Structure 1
Amino acid sequence: MASPRKRRTLIAPAAMVAAVAVAVSLLIAFRPDGGTKPTAAETPTSPAAHTPATPTSAEPEPAPPRPTPTPKPTPTPKPKPKAKPPSPASQAVSASLAGRIRPEVTYEGTATFYDTGDGNGACLYGPTTDVMTAAMNHTDYETSKACGAYVRVSAANGASVTVRITNECPLPCAPGQLDLSPQAFAKLAAPSAGQIPVTWTLLSPATTDKISIRYKTGSSRYWCALQAVGHRNPLARLEVRSPDNTWRRLARTEYNYFLSEQGEGCGTAIRLTDIYGETLTVEGLAVRPDALQPTGLQFAAH
């Protein structure tokens, strides 16, 4: 028979084990899930382990990528032909040297006729035996700028005549109107018609004549007026050489002379410019009033 002390020692550990068992049972009993083990569906899944759901057959498949189009080669542009540079004539006309009456322009108006007498007129070219002349209306006369111009006048019946402008037709002559010599008008219509509609264009006619220079009556080294006579193309400018060897442009008068009121350039070299921009230089002419002095020069035909 064991001693009482040894028996007491064995009972104490058993009591402790029983107490621990009771505590564990109480913990399990008080859990919210009643102590049941969570299922696989309740077990939380780590985000890193989440696998995206495979799309079902009801979802549309993504469209295949479009093929990249092959770029077409850019055609090499053909070189454009170089534009022909403007001629001196067109440059001169564009600079308004021609004034109101321009080359290659057809003007409309009327034709009448008047008694030309000895052929002298406002342009002061003097008497002439040339009967194919005309007076330009006041507007297109343009301060005698039309003097010496050759124009071809055409009627509706197909007849035409070439005349030289030697006079001015004052108002009420309308723009476009030409007052012809009786002989020139008769080339277009019977004189009984009196007035007919016409068209006319500027000419640069063939001629063997040369230009002459005339100083007006009363001209000297201290005052002078001079004009050019017999020029093929209308005259745009007349200049004289100044003492400092520069060119001075003289003002044109209604009576077709270029005036130097202070005498500058009187008796010196003269430079003529036509409406096409061509220039001619005349040297060595003395001041000889009311005398035609030949130059041996002429503008080119156009």
Structure 2
Amino acid sequence: MASASHRRPRSRARMALLCAVVVTAVGLLVSLVVALRPGGGPDGVRTAAGPDAGGRPGTTATSASPAPPSGARAKSSPSATTSPSKRPTPTATPTRPAPAPRTSARRTSGTAPSAGRIKPGVTYQGIATHYDAADGDGACSYGPSPDLMVAAMNHTDYETSAACGAYLLVRAANGASVTVRVTNECPLPCAPGQLDLSKQAFAKLAGLSAGRIPVSWRLLSPATSGTVSIRYKTGSSRHWCGVQALGHRNPLARLEVATGSGWRRLARTEYNYFLSPDGTGCGGPLRLTDIHGEQLTVDGVPVRPDAVQPTGVQFARHPSP
């Protein structure tokens, strides 16, 4: 009995010793496992430098931008690089009114002169008188002009406005001369060859008190930087129109409009408009022929009543013989 009571305490001591050994061994094993883990550091440090921050494990992230793929050719970039979300906003340009329709012209040479009564290279004899030209307007319907070196052609040579716009060199018996432009008609009894000059032009040849003087005159084809313009008459439309040419260097012989089958010549009025009573060709291509036979074909002139629309072209100059 005595020996049994002594074995129980010994058993408990052994059990306690065994537990201590097991706990120590487990602690050593845990320390060894931690020491041998990849990265060898605490999870908190690995997270700060881990893949979520853009770097490799154990390194510090320097940029959030991915590196270009290996072997890819670098794209050229402007000097100021911007990210796609921050592209420069284009500068707004101010709204400009739509430009007026532009005109084009084709020039062709005529085969023969188209002169009427007044022909190039011919010197005419007549009488010069004078009148009050006021603002320079007249039967040719050109409108007011600051240039008052103008003349009214006698009714016969006016020839239903065929003389309108002609430049004339007028010479008096005393040798004095003046250049004038025909803008008006001198009605009967003005005789063929007679010119009724503005007072300003007549004064270049003789005193106004002379009243009537003998003169000679001939056509000029002057040097000019201006170009031909087109004007549609008041009330013009696609159904009826009157067309006028202004600023032509040489007298105008014909004005034609394009039709489906060719060109149609318009009738000329005494007030220097060419009429299309049924609207044929109104707003379409126009063909202008001067007295030398030269033709200008003009496109793109819309029907805008009373608007002077430049064409950008001019008849050729013909120096006087």
Matches within 5 A, 1:203-218: 203-218=220-235
CA deviation map 1:217-259 (0-9, x unaligned): 00000000011000000000000111x1511110101110000
Residue 257 of structure 2: aligned partner: 240
Q: Which residue of 2 aligns with 1:127?
A: 144
Name 1:263's counterpart in structure 2.
279
* 1:172-251 correspondence to structure 2 within 5 Å: 172-242=189-259, 244-251=260-267
Distance 2:112 2:151 in 1: 26
For residue 112 of structure 2, give the secondary structure of its aligned residue in structure 1: helix
Equivalences, count: 210
What amino acid is aligned across from residue 117 of structure 2 in structure 1? Answer: R
C-alpha distance in structure 1 between counterparts of 2:253 and 2:118, whole Å? 11
The aligned counterpart of 1:56 is none
Match of 1:276 in 2: 292
Residue matched to 2:14: none
For the pair 1:287 / 2:303, whether they are aligned, the reply is yes
* Amino acid across the alignment from 2:161: S
| Equivalent AA in structure 2 for residue 124 of structure 1 | S
Secondary structure of residue in 2 paired with 1:281: strand
Q: Spell out the pairing of 1:7-156 with structure 2 (5 A cutoff).
A: 92-93=112-113, 97-156=114-173
Please list the CA deviations of residues 157-177 of structure 1 after superposition, one character each: whole Å capped at 9, or x if unmatched: 000000000000000000000
Q: Which runs of 5+ in 2 are unaligned?
A: 1-108
Aligned partners of 2:142, 2:307: CA distance in 1, in Å? 11
Contact 2:255–2:266 under 8 Å retained in 1:
yes
Gaps of 5+ in 1: 1-87
Partner AA of 2:210 in structure 1: A
Counterpart-to-counterpart distance in 1, 2:261 and 2:246: 25
TM-score by length of 2: 0.64
Runs of 4+ that moved beyond 3 A: none
Q: Distance in 2 between matches of 1:166 and 1:251?
A: 19
Whole-angstrom distance in 1 between the partners of 2:301 and 2:164: 23
- Look up the equivalent residue of 1:247 and give its one-letter code: W
